[in-house]
Structure 1
Amino acid sequence: MFAHVKLLNKFSHTFLYHVPAELQDLQVGDIVQVPLQKRLESAVIVAQTLQQPDVSYTIRSIVRKEPMPDDVHYTKFIGWLCYYYQADRALLNSRIRHFIEQKESEVPLAPLISPDASRTLLRSLTHEQQIATNYINHALDTGVYAPTLVHGVTGSGKTEIYKHILSHALDMGKSTILLLPEVTLAVQFAHRLTQELDPTYPIFSFHSATSAKDKKTVWKRLIAGQPTIIIGVHLPILLPIGNLGLIIVDEEHEVGYQEKKHPKINSKEAAIMRAYMNSIPIVLGSATPSITSLHAVESKGWKLFTLHTRFAGSFPEIKVVPLRTKNAPRKHFWITPVLEDTIADRLAKKEQSIIFINRRGHSFFIQCTSCSYIFSCTQCSVSLTFHAPEKLICHYCGYTHQVPHQCPGCKASSATFIKKGVGTQQVVSLLQTLFPDARIARADLDTTREKKAWATTVEKMHAREIDILVGTQTITKGYDFAQVTLVGILWADLQFNFPLYNATETALAQLIQVAGRAGRHTDNSVVIVQSMAEHEIFQYIQETRFMDFYAHEIEQRMQVQYPPFIRMAQIEYKHTDSDTVHNDAQKSYDIISELIRIDYPQVTVLGPAQPPVHLIQSIHSRVLYLKGPDIKDLISLYKSVVQEQFESSLFFTPNPVR
């Protein structure tokens, strides 16, 4: 027998190897060691043949099969991922390459937590929590696919449910995958569980910030079939786990579950399919459940549990304040008198405030008032963001440029430059001017990228060593700061007009989540929502009205036929030449239109369109969108197109959410 393999670190070519007699049980998807020149490489088997190929070179033999966890469902699951995302199997398998290539001697097989750590007993559950826990534990006991949506208002104790069902799964000898939408949240959650569960519980992080040593430890536990709690963002769902008994997806509404690089696997979607294939329960939790998940409760029979009350504290008062006003001028446009006075009141009471703006940096961009020139990235179709001191940065490719002394367009002096918009750096500076004695910190991608520094900031917030925390979406979810009694949202309507069908849903969820940081342990808190324009969505910011928003939004989606009433897919075209990528997209549109006319009358094709950011690192892009009742039809159309010759690279993404 012979096998076609793709190297895990170089998956652009297929290599042919002989399968020795002792390895005749190899299957497609197995990881093997193969000789390449004078070294051994890890590879995945992508095809097998009994007939000896007619080649002019000597066919070398596979050396050995790499040990893999005994997961009978794994090959089928990876096959589904490859089909659904039209992805290369070797590309998916490459993500576990560094776990199996580490030296065995480097890693002891031991729990992450020291056995002498102190244990916090599980809390007694409320009646609402207990009902949900009993249902999920019963599904665990019986081993059935049970998609369960836990809609719990912020601070209602969803984590307490997670802790009880995690403990039950371990008692049964089952492993659990726990997904969170960001690495910072995964780190925090792992730390919390290690503090609050039995110290002997094997709790492991598994994401980009996890050391190779710890990842290898997890890999060894999986091979040994030992029950493990695995916490991460994207990687855990790709692991073979023979004793997988439960999957939890926290903050299930988050678009961060869709990867940014191709194939853009949505970890939540993959988790749902894996739970179905494994016949195990999956729990999806959120204070702002996605429209798709709520609709699945109605249309697919998902179980819904609602936690109506906070474990402690009270819901904050919501105040919507217009940014544009004809009243007397204020000290700064972005800080209204209402917000300034409320911050001062919180400082006087020794309470904490969170100020939210969905932008990092100092200002959005710099423009010359003489000729209207805007400083833009040389490699991406975006303006450069101003960062103090006197630095312009592209947040897509990292290009950095000092603010020049004169305008490149008209040669006018830099005195003609004005800064437009507002960013976290600028807000910090403004607040330091208004409140010179306040202790102010910043939380955005620039600051949270350094995990240790961000952990220090979180610790200082808990220790009340920070008075005001200024941040972007990093602070909108997952954090429980007991003394936060004020949340100020500087520009609430900023995200409402993005060219995405789910823009309003995403924006509202973000506003509710950040508002939910206030009053989690107090009865007197406030959220000040500053906005450029009035918007009907503001009536739903009080999270107790979220289901009213769902009723409003689901009606809109049904009328215009957007998900969840229709399936969507995106075909993306990338090339260094703008004309080439446009022509290839137009060629595809013509092919698809003809196929739709003949064989797929229920499918609609939209485009070609230029994405909002259509140039990144000198690579141009165009997109087509397919809409239809069956995802299989959309995949078939893509497969028909990709068989043609294109100069551009083509990528397929089902259910794009960003």
Structure 2
Amino acid sequence: MSDAAPSPQRASVLFPMPLPEPFDYAVPEGVRVKPGDHVLAPLGKRSAPGVVWEVGPDDGKRTLKTLDDVRGGPPLSASMREFIDWAARYLVEPPGVVLRAVLRSPGALKPSPTETLYHSTGQTLIRLTPARRAVLDAVEQGPASAAELGRRAGVSASVVKGLAEAGALRAEEAPVDPAFEAPDPHKEGIELNPVQADAAATLRRLVAAGGFQAALLDGVTGSGKTEVYFEAIAELMRREPEAQILVLLPEIALTQAVTKRFKDRFGVEPALWHSGLADKERRRTWREVASGRAKIVAGARSSIFLPFTNLRGVIVDEEHDPTYKQDENLTYNARDLAVARAKLQGAVCVLASATPSLESLVNAEAGRYVHVVLPSRAGGAVLPDIELLDLRENPPEKGEWLSPPLHKAVAETLARGEQAMLYLNRRGFAPLVLCKACGHKMKSPEADRWLVEHRYTGRLVCHVTGFSMPKPKACPECGALESLIGVGPGVERVAEEARQRFPEARVEVFSSDTAQNGDDVRSIVSRMEAGEIDILVGTQIAAKGHNFPHLTLVGVVDADLGLAGGDLRAGERTYQTLVQAAGRAGRADRPGRAILQTWNPDHEALQALANGDRDGFLAAERMMREMLGLPPFGRLAALIVSGPDPAQLDEACQLIARAAPVSDGVQVFGPAEAPLGVVRGRWRRRFLVQAPRNVDVSAFMRAWMGRMKPPSAVRVVLDIEPYSFL
């Protein structure tokens, strides 16, 4: 047996920062590390956290710095590291930038802190005072800390500790972040109708087939898509008890709304992940996902970067939704990454929508996805009647925004004891504030955007940068007092009109301004479900996924909003948004109706809505995109170049343009001034790259980025498959 010392080891460490590659370090003698381990390593003059990407022999040809420490915590799995490397190549980002999106909760690498919880022993060998009896009654609600039991009983913590010393309570150390309860895949769900049962059977067959499988679950609003994909989740967990499933949702509001449905189906709530969680909750979810103990996670787009160890299923609910696209910092589309991650990990991926994206429909038609269709609503509910209301023939009265026919429809709805929703995807009171004396328009100092008036708070807000200021008493241009007026409607102004027209009605606004956290969302949704709101005035947060049984009328204040501009998906997005909004009506046993106010009733998207001709609209949309070589029949990428000096920026853009590689079929457009010309004092220019479907646009952009050398003050942001053209 050889007594030779083990050969020196080298560890390549990836840091969560924009560095081009992992750095090599010597592994200290007697220390063992493996790929995926979390370590501390010297970087410059400090010790920085990173992840071991590769381990191999140290050939001694270079003098390497030595690792500082091994941090512990659940290592990143091989599949997680593979996904990070793939995403970095696809998004043309340093892998450390993607790793930074993964390591969002550094405290989760440490074991959960513990706390002392008190349990009842059932022994009462002491005289029971009223205070002691109150504590023993309180502990029947469940074990708790001394402070919590004291709060429940209305006594001091010393009474609790006294009972523990007397043997009536037992103290135990328990983690502050407990494990999530295991879902029960054998719990019965609701009875499915024959069409739903066939759809669920198809998804179960995909699960049984094993490996990567993708399906498009294409069902009209209210058709029971959630209950159908629940069957796929249950089948996965029955076959693989250690499987983990991710359910992506486009809005925090939907994450809150769907929690109860998960509990009804699987006996427990899913682990949640979104920006509205407290640090403690995010730490718990991250740790439990990384350890493999969190079985079902429901989260917003950033949850695609959670460190699953055994991801076997990915559901993308409302897969068409543009909020899956992240446009700041790391730019990505969570839907596209979800499909890629499922493919890398051999998992099942289900994309669900009432209005699927053209990209997903083309993939289904090409056989890349199994197409599962739910053509009708569940139970006795029917789709709402959709009516286009031509504002040229029925204009609102002066100073109002709802036309007389819509006023009449709301009045009839309320008279029947039913609810109405007025939909306008525009926050605040008025989108523009100007001086009636001199015409001055209030503009954001940080962006090329008008300030929006918020009447509830008395402030003017820029929804691009977040800049906010009190509404001035006088015009800053001419000094005229009380001369600033709001122009155009936001949801607050529509709500004001509704209150004036229907003074007996209970009117409430549902937007990101009035529902800023999960509790706010739950409160509005529960009161709407209970019939405690008569008229709900909402933005897109109100139009997605909610089931309001008493809502029978949806009035869309401005159906043309979103059709203008150069966005290639403007028509498709408008169609999808209005279908979702109209689909809130008539979801129970009462028929629904949707009235869409428009100045352009002949637009093909609106005509398709009114005629129920989705296939015709999508065929025309498809023909246009295919003819122009636009997604999904071509590839796009964008460069957004910004700088503090417009002259320097234009000069840098010319150098960047000359650095573009020459490639057959690839066209580079620009530089052009961005529609959003200035943001936070930085001027902006855009390049757009268009290429055939078979061209590796990521490789083209990587080569281009490698050849450009902009000045330090000029920032270049790359967006693969852009959704925003601002």
Normalising to structure 2: TM-score of the pair? 0.83
Which residue in 1 is equivalent to 2:4? Answer: none
* 1:628 is aligned to 2:691: yes
Q: Which amino acid aligns with 2:707?
A: Q
Check whether the contact 1:69–1:225 (CA below 8 A) recurs between aligned residues.
no
- Distance of 2:28 and 2:504 partners within structure 1: 74
Which residue in 2 is equivalent to 1:68? Answer: 74
Give the superposed CA RMSD. Answer: 2.9
Task: Give the 3-state SS of the residue equivalent to 1:185 in structure 2.
Answer: helix
Check whether the contact 2:425–2:539 (CA below 8 A) recurs between aligned residues.
yes
The alpha-carbon distance between structure 1 residues 575 and 631, as it changes in their structure 2 partners (threshold 3 A), is farther
* 1:20 is aligned to 2:28: yes
The alpha-carbon distance between structure 1 residues 155 and 584, as it changes in their structure 2 partners (threshold 3 A), is same
Q: Which amino acid aligns with 1:86?
A: V
Higher relative contact order (CA 8 A, sep 6+): 1
Q: Deviations over 1:520-567 (max 9, x none)?
A: 113432111001223222122258422221111101111222111101
Check whether the contact 1:111–1:202 (CA below 8 A) recurs between aligned residues.
no
* 1:123 is aligned to 2:161: no
Which residue in 2 is equivalent to 1:447? Answer: 514
- Distance of 1:83 and 1:114 partners within structure 2: 36
Could you tell me which runs of 5 or more consecutive residues in structure 1 were left unpaired when the two chains were aligned: none
Which residue in 2 is equivalent to 1:646? Answer: 710
Which residue in 2 is equivalent to 1:317? Answer: 385
Task: Give the 3-state SS of the residue equivalent to 1:448 in structure 2.
Answer: coil
Which residue in 2 is equivalent to 1:465? Answer: 532
- Distance of 1:543 and 1:466 partners within structure 2: 31
Task: Give the 3-state SS of the residue equivalent to 2:382 in structure 1.
Answer: coil
* 1:657 is aligned to 2:723: yes
* 1:198 is aligned to 2:266: yes
Equivalent of 1:79, from 58, 77, 85?
85
Which residue in 1 is equivalent to 2:154? Answer: none
Q: Deviations over 1:139-163 (max 9, x none)?
A: 2223122210011000000011122
* 1:183 is aligned to 2:252: yes
Could you tell me which runs of 5 or more consecutive residues in structure 2 were left unpaired when the two chains were aligned: 1-8, 114-174
- Distance of 2:332 and 2:72 partners within structure 1: 25
- Give the 5 Å matches for 1:442-521: 442-521=509-588
Which residue in 2 is equivalent to 1:608? Answer: 671
Q: Which amino acid aligns with 2:453?
A: F
Which residue in 2 is equivalent to 1:299? Answer: 366
Q: Deviations over 1:462-504 (max 9, x none)?
A: 1111001111111111100000000000010011012211111
- Distance of 1:180 and 1:576 partners within structure 2: 37
Query: 1:623, CA displacement in angstroms?
Result: 1.5
Equivalent of 1:529, from 596, 620, 642?
596
Check whether the contact 2:91–2:698 (CA below 8 A) recurs between aligned residues.
no
The alpha-carbon distance between structure 1 residues 657 and 193, as it changes in their structure 2 partners (threshold 3 A), is same
- Give the 5 Å matches for 1:576-591: 576-591=644-659
- Give the 5 Å matches for 1:175-574: 175-194=244-263, 196-199=264-267, 201=268, 203-226=270-293, 228-312=295-379, 313-325=381-393, 330=397, 332-388=399-455, 390-415=458-483, 417-534=484-601, 535-542=603-610, 544-574=612-642
Task: Give the 3-state SS of the residue equivalent to 1:309 in structure 2.
Answer: coil
Task: Give the 3-state SS of the residue equivalent to 1:87 in structure 2.
Answer: coil
Which residue in 2 is equivalent to 1:132? Answer: 199
Check whether the contact 2:447–2:465 (CA below 8 A) recurs between aligned residues.
yes
- Distance of 2:617 and 2:678 partners within structure 1: 35
Query: 1:219, CA displacement in angstroms?
Result: 4.0
Task: Give the 3-state SS of the residue equivalent to 1:582 in structure 2.
Answer: helix
* 1:43 is aligned to 2:50: yes
Check whether the contact 2:39–2:67 (CA below 8 A) recurs between aligned residues.
no
Q: Deviations over 1:166-212 (max 9, x none)?
A: 12222222111100111221122123212x1232x572112222344
Check whether the contact 2:33–2:55 (CA below 8 A) recurs between aligned residues.
no
Query: 1:43, CA displacement in angstroms?
Result: 1.5
- Distance of 1:47 and 1:651 partners within structure 2: 29
Check whether the contact 1:17–1:62 (CA below 8 A) recurs between aligned residues.
no
Query: 1:214, CA displacement in angstroms?
Result: 3.7
The alpha-carbon distance between structure 1 residues 334 and 288, as it changes in their structure 2 partners (threshold 3 A), is same
Q: Which amino acid aligns with 2:252?
A: V
Moved more, 61-70 or 227-236: 61-70
The alpha-carbon distance between structure 1 residues 207 and 631, as it changes in their structure 2 partners (threshold 3 A), is farther
The alpha-carbon distance between structure 1 residues 536 and 544, as it changes in their structure 2 partners (threshold 3 A), is closer
The alpha-carbon distance between structure 1 residues 633 and 459, as it changes in their structure 2 partners (threshold 3 A), is closer
Moved more, 628-637 or 136-145: 628-637
Task: Give the 3-state SS of the residue equivalent to 2:718 in structure 1.
Answer: strand
Task: Give the 3-state SS of the residue equivalent to 1:245 in structure 2.
Answer: strand
Task: Give the 3-state SS of the residue equivalent to 2:97 in structure 1.
Answer: helix
- Distance of 2:613 and 2:325 partners within structure 1: 27
- Distance of 1:19 and 1:101 partners within structure 2: 24
- Distance of 1:479 and 1:47 partners within structure 2: 47
- Distance of 2:377 and 2:576 partners within structure 1: 18
Equivalent of 2:40, from 33, 37, 42?
33
Check whether the contact 1:489–1:530 (CA below 8 A) recurs between aligned residues.
yes
The alpha-carbon distance between structure 1 residues 80 and 287, as it changes in their structure 2 partners (threshold 3 A), is same
Moved more, 121-130 or 156-165: 121-130
Moved more, 225-234 or 153-162: 225-234
Query: 1:231, CA displacement in angstroms?
Result: 0.8
The alpha-carbon distance between structure 1 residues 99 and 591, as it changes in their structure 2 partners (threshold 3 A), is closer
Q: Deviations over 1:48-89 (max 9, x none)?
A: 78455867xx93424116443573322221111001111232
The alpha-carbon distance between structure 1 residues 76 and 326, as it changes in their structure 2 partners (threshold 3 A), is closer
- Distance of 1:120 and 1:430 partners within structure 2: 48
Query: 1:434, CA displacement in angstroms?
Result: 0.9
- Distance of 1:421 and 1:53 partners within structure 2: 70
Query: 1:127, CA displacement in angstroms?
Result: 2.1
- Distance of 2:50 and 2:606 partners within structure 1: 53
Query: 1:267, CA displacement in angstroms?
Result: 0.8
- Distance of 1:221 and 1:324 partners within structure 2: 57
Check whether the contact 1:148–1:282 (CA below 8 A) recurs between aligned residues.
yes
Moved more, 550-559 or 608-617: 608-617
Which residue in 2 is equivalent to 1:170? Answer: 237
Query: 1:108, CA displacement in angstroms?
Result: 5.6
Query: 1:620, CA displacement in angstroms?
Result: 2.5
Q: Which amino acid aligns with 1:655?
A: E
- Distance of 2:544 and 2:362 partners within structure 1: 23
Check whether the contact 1:627–1:634 (CA below 8 A) recurs between aligned residues.
no
- Distance of 1:347 and 1:467 partners within structure 2: 7
Which residue in 2 is equivalent to 1:91? Answer: 97
The alpha-carbon distance between structure 1 residues 150 and 22, as it changes in their structure 2 partners (threshold 3 A), is farther
Moved more, 607-616 or 432-441: 607-616
Check whether the contact 1:71–1:240 (CA below 8 A) recurs between aligned residues.
yes
- Distance of 2:701 and 2:332 partners within structure 1: 19
Check whether the contact 2:83–2:341 (CA below 8 A) recurs between aligned residues.
yes
Check whether the contact 2:424–2:556 (CA below 8 A) recurs between aligned residues.
yes
The sequence identity of aligned pairs, in percent, is: 27
